[in-house]
Chains A and B, each alone.
Chain A
Amino acid sequence: GEDVEQSLFLSVREGDSSVINCTYTDSSSTYLYWYKQEPGAGLQLLTYIFSNMDMKQDQRLTVLLNKKDKHLSLRIADTQTGDSAIYFCAENGNTGFQKLVFGTGTRLLVSP
């Protein structure tokens, strides 16, 4: 079945780059997503990448996809304290109406 795994915790200093990693099992995924969840809030879509792309850049965010290894990463440049949150990787299968399968979430803590 589909499964998405992430490391649970990442701590960085303000101004550094953060790299959050994700592995998935469903090779039929057409899109992969990164969501951000701040305390007490819902899931905010940050960015997504189509499965035939290797990289996508969106301002401070860079998504890298290694389809062969089923590995997805999110790099946040110049990390700020406001980036502290839980980051979820998600993939859709090839199921037509496209439920999302989420990872466990990575808690990013940015210290001043």
Chain B
Amino acid sequence: EPEVTQTPSHQVTQMGQEVILRCVPISNHLYFYWYRQILGQKVEFLVSFYNNEISEKSEIFDDQFSVERPDGSNFTLKIRSTKLEDSAMYFCASSVEPGTNEQFFGPGTRLTVL
């Protein structure tokens, strides 16, 4: 069964460093998303991406964040200069169409900023 994959599973970084979180969405999906879940809090939407551009973003997704689909399979989230409060689990998701919007999630990357 096709699934969304994410790498790495755990990333530890120093405050101020750049990190890139990687995702491989399901191959025939067209819509891509990033969410995050700070420990003990709700899963929060960050950004959606379609047709090689951002279609919607939340207030959390400020200038420190960027997304890219560098090739036909990968979808990345870059945090330019990490802060302590960026420590969270980051989930990638994809969907084939926005109709029923069945979003399929990856296992997540746990980001720890020291």
Contacts from A to B (Cβ < 8 Å): 31, 33, 35, 40-45, 48, 50, 88, 90, 92, 95-105
Contacts and interface: CB of A to CB of B under 8 A. Distances in A.
For the complex, would chain B's binding face be called helix, strand, loop or mixed by DSSP majority? Answer: strand
B48 A97 contact: yes
B98 A99 contact: no
B74 interface: no
Nearest to A101: B45
Interface stretch (B11-19, B50-58, B78-86): B50-58
A90 B101 CA distance: 11
Given A42-B106, A43-B91, A100-B103, A95 B42 contact: no
A97 B55 contact: yes
8 contacts: A43-B93, A44-B105, A48-B100, A48-B102, A97-B98, A99-B58, A100-B103, A102-B44
Question: Main SS of the interface on chain A?
Answer: strand
Interface in B14-50: 31, 33, 35, 42-45, 48, 50
A31 B44 CA distance: 17
Q: Which of the listed residues A42, A45, A90, A92 has the most CB atoms from chain B within 10 Å of its own CB? A: A42
B100 A96 contact: no
Contacts of B65: none
Given A97-B55, A102-B43, A42 B101 contact: no
